[in-house]
Structure 1
């Protein structure tokens, strides 16, 4: 089963293309279940996300596409929601209560620093990388413990600019995966990292191997910001998952899991 659940729309102001173009690209790429998870509105960093007033029209458009293409593909709708440590109050209630299939929880910020944004690369010169990694992983633990989300987005995103976690952080990584397991979340295998300076999938193979040992379920995502990126390196991601030992992949309908053979 080919599944791709984490994809964006131009509502986030840093993606291009019409929603139907993403769906048609997914069909051409042999994807069976395709999901939109555009950046959810929030009273923070507003230029990179839709507004609250656009929630209903976003969901309506994606549901309409699901009906239009129902004989060719299953189309899902969700949100990618920013989780900022100790700032859970920023998450819009309307997002959490919306009639969507799933919510992806992602950490893009440490305090107010958007660490994956090239605009703020100079901030890396002001921090201790190990300490920042620990703060990042603690944010994911808190996100999991909030039990607000279905999927963990790009688990090791903090490596994006080639700052891989040191060996000394292995226990922290394991503890973070345990929190994901204990709070019944799904881990996405996200191929967008291959398009970034790190040139590596999220999460890395060693982390996926730990996730497999912990029996954490997985899903697949290309994190497309244009129709041409839909299904990006999907065959590589599927092959990697199978090689590690994963046999099942997860989708969602109204937050209920649907499990398929890979």
Structure 2
């Protein structure tokens, strides 16, 4: 069994592979092997769950002639594959078999709830608003905004966090994925959410709901490779989560070998700059919390020293 008694408990709660996701690369076996070689002790497999309508397929999935039936078959194959890898690595690294929720609509969430019991964990995300993917491109983000009641960013944010609340309330996901993903393609200067009381209040409600059942907010390094100077969530969100007593974990949201642990050293500096004192991670047996001071001494960070 994996030894959880020492400080080198590096983890990622969010990953994808080219075996099961159309916009990822590299096979699942290679992904897990690379995570192990880098010194991860907990690595969560979280391929996207199938969507319930062709209206929610991404453009590249349509180009590849994906269907709802093929997505379901693909997801079932993933589950069996992931369980085999979990057994294969059980004495070396804890592999948690999970899935990521797209957060499209109520039908999708009910499907997620129906098979959640089979999995070790899930990542609760929102990727679509008004039927439009909000992290695919600026044009799609703008299209989603145009479909709000008044066509404003303010209302788009409100809609996002209201749908996120539904995801959280329905599924109680172990990990909240990229909490402020809605900001990815915001082209204007970042607004202080306190200027939008109805948005701010919804954010507070979401954080409090996650805290009520012990969910974790991921510090997701993918935002850095997408052009941000911080991981998700941005500093104002981190401060609010801390003020409300929320807990954080780490994720790389990798979509291939090159992204496993990518920019983790930058995320770790962000952790210290934001004054986060403890980091949590999931195990089969429950959640483990460690001090940032202890984790800072991990040999895991040696591989980043020359970057």
- What is the TM-score of this pair, normalised by structure 2? 0.75
Return the match for 1:37 from 42, 46, 50.
46
2:220 is the alignment partner of 1:190: yes
Return the match for 1:140 from 136, 140, 164.
164
Q: Distance in 1 between matches of 2:32 and 2:271?
A: 24
Return the match for 2:30 from 7, 21, 44.
21
Q: Deviations over 1:104-141 (max 9, x none)?
A: 11001112011111262451673300110011111112
Deviates more, 1:197-206 or 1:155-164: 197-206
- Unaligned 5+ residue runs, structure 1? none
Shift of 1:21: 1.4
2:259 is the alignment partner of 1:223: no
Q: Distance in 2 between matches of 1:8 and 1:39?
A: 8
CA contact (8 A) 1:159 1:165 kept: no
Q: Deviations over 1:77-107 (max 9, x none)?
A: 1000122354455635653242x21011100
When residues 260 and 181 of structure 1 are mapped into structure 2, their CA distance, relative to the original with a 3 A threshold, is closer
Who wins on radius of gyration, i.e. which is larger? 2
Q: Distance in 1 between matches of 2:263 and 2:106?
A: 35
Deviates more, 1:71-80 or 1:160-169: 160-169
2:83 is the alignment partner of 1:63: yes
Deviates more, 1:237-246 or 1:150-159: 237-246
Match of 2:302 in 1: none
Match of 1:248 in 2: 279
CA contact (8 A) 1:3 1:33 kept: yes
Match of 1:166 in 2: 192
Q: Deviations over 1:179-207 (max 9, x none)?
A: 32234321111111112144431001221
3-state DSSP of counterpart to 2:40:
coil
- Unaligned 5+ residue runs, structure 2? 1-8, 296-307
- What is the TM-score of this pair, normalised by structure 1? 0.87
When residues 166 and 131 of structure 1 are mapped into structure 2, their CA distance, relative to the original with a 3 A threshold, is farther
Q: Deviations over 1:218-260 (max 9, x none)?
A: 211110011110011122223333442331312142xx52214
When residues 20 and 165 of structure 1 are mapped into structure 2, their CA distance, relative to the original with a 3 A threshold, is farther
Moved over 4 A (4+): 85-90
Q: Distance in 1 between matches of 2:109 and 2:14?
A: 24
Q: Distance in 1 between matches of 2:106 and 2:90?
A: 41
